[in-house]
Amino acid sequence: MRYLSLLLFLGLTACFTPRETVQTEPDIPSVQTQAPDATAKIEKKPKFKAYGEVITPEAETDEGLFTVHHVGEEYYFEIPFSLLNRDLLLVTRIAKIPAELGGGYLNAGSKTNEQLVRWNRVGDAVHLTSVSYSSVADTSLPINMSVQDNNYAPVVMAFKIATFNPDSTAAVIPVKELFVSDVQAISGLSKRLRKEYEVRSLDKDRSFISRMASYPENVEVRHDMTYAANDPPSNARTGTISMQLSQSMYLLPEQPMQPRLYDERVGWFTVRQVDYGSEALKADEKRYIKRWKLVPKDPEAYARGELVEPEEPIVYYLDPATPEKFRTFFRQGIEDWQEAFEAAGFKNAIVARDAPSRAEDPDWSPEDARYSVVRYVASTTRNAIGPSVVDPRSGQIIESDIIWYHNHLRSYRNRYMLETGAANPSARTLDTPDAEIGEMMRRVISHEVGHALGLPHNMKASYAYPTDSLRSATFTNTWGLASTIMDYTRYNYVAQPGDDGVRWVRMLGPYDIYAINWGYRYLPEARSAAAEKDSLNAWIAEKQGDPVYLFGGYSSSDPSAQTEAVGDDPVKASRYGMKNLRIVAANLADWTTRDGEDYADLEELYGELLSVWSRYAAHVTANIGGVYEQLKTTDEEGNVYSHLSEKEQAEAVDFLNEEVFSTLEWLMPERIVANIGPSGIVQRMRRLQSRQLNNLLDADRLLRMVENQALNGSAAYTAPEMLEQLRRGLWADAMEGRSIDGFRRNLQRAHVERLTELLNEDAEDATDIGALARAELSAIARLARSAASRYREGIVKYHLQEVEADIEATLTAK
């Protein structure tokens, strides 16, 4: 039996030939003069070209993170196998921008996308995939498999391997197609902009790679893109939008930094992740703060409380294009933060250096990810920005460039004159002294560096200081104008003529020191983000209840979190501001006109003066229907939200009736309005005042007041009370039979128009706002009917009769 089995096995083996060893005969030619050599091998074309055939001697090559080549019309990446499956950050920015693109909200340097990517080999190709860390789970947990399956990484583009480097440790791929195709993942045009400008397509014939460079930790590509568009933002006749994009690919640390958990009571920029491996009975959203990795050189000395230098300090290089006279101020603006880092235990944690010259370091480049740079940009843009590149896995800031646009000098000169000129003689000129403009630039740089360190705007900081304290030289020179430089408290517009020695310009404050310590103090004993939480909470608890250490972003409903405000009493601060603005308006022509020059500067500054007036008015309006927000955890006493008192809100309406809804002769000096245009001041004032009126009669504001009454009853300042108080102010002339000038008539029409809009808008929602608007319109109609009888024939009488007729038509239609 055993012998029979062996025979069967041998027979089957003889009948079966593995697929790999099967030989197929070549096709037999139709005419064959000689029998083929049975031993001859069939030659096959190599799958890949030789390296020298692809990367020819004419190639322009740059070595770095991975080698890049330019050969003829093609560009190649030579990607080491060691970088396959490594996490890299791809950041897309607009390097050169057409005029008016984005309506002023985009500029050269604006980031349009940031994504984590990986290079993966798939057979004979290399894929570029976009990987998300928004959903995570520890790799040791079973649920991680589900996270991976439900967050499959999309392929941005696939590249056929052209060759391998000589020692076969890297794949060479052609990449031109990535940068001259309309790839949404790296585009500079969002869907909104494409729709707005009616973009039809990318013209590949007018799109090209302009440069490519490789550095030790990043690769940079510049490529110009031209789109066909029906309605481009500028140069409309061309039917074209052209822009240059910058693609920056950064190698991220192989081991991510230990993150630090975010607490909303201390403001930080953050990265978000949904942790499916959390013990919480839900997909647990976690936020980690954005910060640089600072580790003390001498941990033992650090633990003893000594100031210790970090292993790798934060270094900012000054752009060689920075004017020499401003370099000192830029250095100071950067190194002002050293005091805050000392509170966190680090000395020399942040330093400023001049960029090396070509002779000193011919390879130095601001595009090298190892260098953070304060760039000075020749541009008409009035702005400065402090962006950073962040590892989305941990929140670690990898690199940052502060951008100062040259024309921002003009913004600060103008605001300095308008907001401090009444009490500050040195601000009363178009030629602001270098030392003073330099001080302003220093503080702008500090503000932008603050962003690059991880700090967002803190609009509650201005509310931390008593308004009258800002008139004190001792107080302002010790504490500044707000508790942080991250507020938009640029100038001291409260100080009055005679308040000698006060500080005019913002500076770092105690909140900055507190926040940097909270975010950067090294906690080696905590081996996880969760293990740090008790320490972080304790530091917040130490400052509990102190307004100096509160955080809050801008809120339209919270009067303590307004932009461009100063002091803890908006009504008092705006009264001081309006008082100063009267002096400025009366003298603006003298301060801005020069012999032999036109009135362009006067016209520009007058427009900005009206904007300053509007801000002062809006700060007061925020009190009405205002709700204070103070962020708390459940173990802290008190409520998070509380309405303003009746007294505070009523005082705010009184201010508006007196300062905002009156005829503003002082805001229209003849020397200004008679020299900047032939007409239009009446309509300009109508728009100016109507905007403030519409802000006051905002539907959300009225709903908050209705809710306040529902919750707090007689203690609340009610919407009917506010509307009556406003009506008595706006229509006082008619009620008393006095003449009603053209400015007041315009404002009365705007009042009726806004109430009519509220009535119409509420038709679908059916809230109390419709009833309030109807009641007010009825009261105004009765008032107009009664008042019209007091006037003889003329424009005032006709105006009142028209008001009554319009309201009656509206109410009848409803």
> For the purposes of burial, counting CB atoms within 10 Å of the CB of 504, is it exposed (0-12), middle (13-18) or buried (19 or more)?
buried
Other beta carbons less than 10 A from residue 132's beta carbon: 14
Query: Is 120 part of a structural domain of the chain?
Result: yes
Query: Is 124 part of a structural domain of the chain?
Result: yes
- Location of structure tokens 């509990």: 544
Last residue of a domain, one of 526, 553, 580: 553
pLDDT given for residue 145 in this prediction: 57
Query: Is 209 part of a structural domain of the chain?
Result: yes
| CA–CA separation, 71 and 56 (whole Å) | 7
Q: Do residues 748 and 787 lie in contact, with contact meaning Cβ atoms separated by under 8 Å?
A: no
- 246 with 145, same domain? yes
pLDDT given for residue 141 in this prediction: 56
pLDDT given for residue 36 in this prediction: 47
pLDDT given for residue 20 in this prediction: 34
Q: What are the tens digits of pLDDT across the range 256-311?
A: 999 999 999 999 999 987 765 555 545 567 899 999 999 999 999 999 999 999 99
- 319 with 445, same domain? yes
Where b means 16+ CB within 10 Å and e means fewer, 656-691 reads bbebbbbbbeebbbebbbeebeeeeeeebbbebbbe
Last residue of a domain, one of 525, 553, 581: 553
Query: Is 130 part of a structural domain of the chain?
Result: yes
- 220 with 314, same domain? no
Last residue of a domain, one of 222, 251, 280: 251
| CA–CA separation, 633 and 263 (whole Å) | 10
- 305 with 226, same domain? no
- 303 with 246, same domain? no
| CA–CA separation, 761 and 666 (whole Å) | 36
Token pair belonging to 426? 């040195």
- 360 with 438, same domain? yes
- 245 with 303, same domain? no
CA gyration radius, the chain: 34
pLDDT given for residue 148 in this prediction: 57
Which phi-psi region, left, alpha or beta, contains residue 315 (left: φ > 0; alpha: ψ -120 to 50)?
beta
Q: What are the tens digits of pLDDT across the range 696-740?
A: 999 999 999 999 999 999 899 999 999 999 999 999 999 999 999
- 210 with 336, same domain? no
- Long-range CB contact pairs, 298-303, < 8 A, 24+: 299/522, 299/524, 302/345, 302/522, 303/524
- 221 with 306, same domain? no
Which H or E run includes 134? none
| CA–CA separation, 754 and 30 (whole Å) | 94
Low-confidence ranges of the chain (pLDDT < 70): 1-44, 104-105, 134-152, 275-284, 814
Token pair belonging to 355? 């960029």
- 204 with 306, same domain? no
Query: Is 60 part of a structural domain of the chain?
Result: yes
> For the purposes of burial, counting CB atoms within 10 Å of the CB of 711, is it exposed (0-12), middle (13-18) or buried (19 or more)?
exposed
Other beta carbons less than 10 A from residue 630's beta carbon: 19
- 235 with 305, same domain? no
pLDDT given for residue 146 in this prediction: 56
Token pair belonging to 17? 């030939």
> DSSP letters along 8-54, please?
HHHHHHHH---GGG---PPPPPSS-SS---TTPPPP---SS--HHHH
- The boundaries of the domain holding residue 166 are 51-251
Query: Is 802 part of a structural domain of the chain?
Result: no
Q: Do residues 295 and 311 lie in contact, with contact meaning Cβ atoms separated by under 8 Å?
A: yes
The pTM of the full predicted model, rounded to 2 decimals, is 0.87
- 229 with 377, same domain? no
Q: Which residues lie closer than 8 Å to 614 by C-beta, 6 or more apart?
A: 688, 691, 692
Q: Do residues 501 and 477 lie in contact, with contact meaning Cβ atoms separated by under 8 Å?
A: yes
Query: Is 322 part of a structural domain of the chain?
Result: yes
Q: Report the domain count for the chain.
A: 2
Query: Is 533 part of a structural domain of the chain?
Result: yes
